[in-house]
């Protein structure tokens, strides 16, 4: 099972440290660096769009939390690393131009010599969609079409499409991604539409911060979504996003996750769970507890 790291640490506004932290993450044997995505947050969210990962629908973050642009962060990291894979987990695709997303992704793939992952979701905040002037209700259909467009543009061939959201006639995007192969696409979310989207469009699926029981149940639902379109479920990689709070708990739950056949464990961190420790100390601790440090020979 691969161990990856989500590198948005709550209160760290010093983006200049991220490239050095990424090099440390690479040296300690982590497989992938993921960075999340939100364009804006709000002092108060509309109640009709609750946050899906807390019991009361209240987000676990406030307006003081920094969210840098995922693709800009990954570009900087690409220049300071040589092995670790790089991805946005997950970027809210319907809020972004599919042409620009394809261009930026292909550029990062070249800068990193083929290490880019495209991680996408549809988001949960209708307030964020309203601020951008994008209809919230059609975000799923928009994401599906955007994924089709991105893959077509990445072919390097002329693209003609007359869709609900995108119309192109003989559009060519060059260069295609590094080495002529498409970057892996990961789709996030636990809803039925998200799982169908992953089954149809993706190479992998990324969970939110959920427990082991929900993870196991969701993987079964994902397998069923694959089988419904006659796709082999084993073709899809599973990434569990896990909030790291305690070393012994992580060891126990890693063992259980491996029994599920999990492909990748993505560890997220909130500094409030590790008072008095620097970012570098937290990264080193996770590497030691998860075993990446030993695997890398660090």
- Residue 46's alpha-carbon distances to 94, 125, 138, 189, 270, in angstroms, are 20, 8, 18, 21, 25
Q: What domains appear along the chain, each with residue ranges and CATH number?
A: 34-78+85-183 (3.20.20.30)
Q: What is the average pLDDT across 176-201?
A: 98
Q: What is the per-residue pLDDT for 118?
A: 99
Contact 186, 89 (CB under 8 A): yes
- Residue 14 confidence class, pLDDT cut points 50, 70, 90: confident
Taking each helix axis from N to C end, the angle separating 18-27 and 70-78, rounded to the nearest 10 degrees, works out to: 60
- pLDDT tens digits for 50-66? 888 888 888 878 787 78
Q: What is the per-residue pLDDT for 223?
A: 98
Show Cβ contacts of residue 205 under 8 Å, excluding neighbours closer than 6 positions.
186, 187, 188, 195, 198, 222, 236, 237, 238, 239
- Residue 10 confidence class, pLDDT cut points 50, 70, 90: low
- pLDDT tens digits for 146-169? 999 999 999 999 999 999 999 999
pLDDT at 16 > cutoff 80: yes
User: Could you give the CA distance from residue 249 to residue 289 in angstroms, rounded to a whole number?
Assistant: 10
- Residue 101's H or E segment, with its range, is helix 98-111
User: Could you give the CA distance from residue 129 to residue 127 in angstroms, rounded to a whole number?
Assistant: 5
Contact 33, 25 (CB under 8 A): yes
Percent of the chain residues topping a pLDDT of 90: 80
User: Could you give the CA distance from residue 19 to residue 16 in angstroms, rounded to a whole number?
Assistant: 7
- pLDDT tens digits for 96-150? 999 999 999 999 999 999 999 999 999 999 999 999 999 999 999 999 999 999 9
User: Could you give the CA distance from residue 128 to residue 139 in angstroms, rounded to a whole number?
Assistant: 12
Q: What is the per-residue pLDDT for 105?
A: 99
- pLDDT tens digits for 271-295? 888 999 988 999 999 999 999 966 6
The CA-based dihedral angle spanning residues 231, 190, 206, 54, taken in that order and rounded to the nearest 10 degrees: -170
- Residue 208 confidence class, pLDDT cut points 50, 70, 90: very high
Show Cβ contacts of residue 28 under 8 Å, excluding neighbours closer than 6 positions.
283, 284, 287, 292, 293, 296, 298
pLDDT at 11 > cutoff 70: no
Q: Is 92 helix (H, G, I), strand (E, B) or coil?
A: strand
Q: What is the per-residue pLDDT for 248?
A: 95
């Amino acid at each position: 099972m691969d161990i990856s790291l989500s590198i948005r640490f709550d209160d760290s506004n010093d983006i200049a440290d991220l490239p050095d932290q990424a090099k440390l993450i690479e040296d300690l044997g982590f497989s992938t660096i993921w960075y999340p995505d939100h364009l804006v947050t709000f002092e108060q969210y509309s109640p009709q769009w609750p946050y899906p990962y807390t019991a009361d629908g209240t987000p676990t973050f406030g307006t003081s939390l920094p969210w840098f642009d995922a693709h800009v962060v990954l570009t900087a990291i690409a220049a300071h690393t040589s092995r670790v894979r790089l991805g946005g987990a997950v970027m809210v695709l319907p809020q972004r131009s599919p042409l620009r997303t394809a261009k930026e992704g292909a550029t990062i793939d070249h800068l990193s010599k083929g290490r880019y992952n495209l991680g996408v979701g549809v988001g949960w905040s209708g307030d964020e969609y309203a601020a951008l002037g994008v209809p919230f209700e059609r975000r799923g259909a928009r994401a599906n079409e955007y994924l089709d467009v991105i893959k077509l543009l990445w072919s390097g061939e002329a693209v003609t499409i007359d869709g609900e959201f995108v119309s192109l006639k003989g559009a060519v995007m060059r260069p295609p991604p590094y080495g002529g192969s498409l970057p892996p696409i990961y789709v996030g979310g636990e809803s039925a539409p998200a799982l169908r989207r992953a089954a149809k469009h993706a190479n992998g699926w990324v969970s939110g911060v959920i427990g082991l029981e929900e993870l196991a149940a969701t993987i079964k639902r994902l397998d069923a979504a694959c089988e419904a379109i006659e796709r082999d479920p084993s073709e899809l990689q599973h990434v569990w996003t896990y909030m790291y709070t305690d070393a012994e708990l992580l060891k126990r739950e890693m063992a259980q996750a491996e029994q599920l056949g999990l492909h990748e464990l993505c560890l997220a961190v909130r500094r409030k769970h590790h008072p008095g420790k620097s970012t570098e100390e937290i990264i080193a601790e996770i590497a030691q507890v998860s075993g990446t440090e030993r695997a890398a020979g660090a």
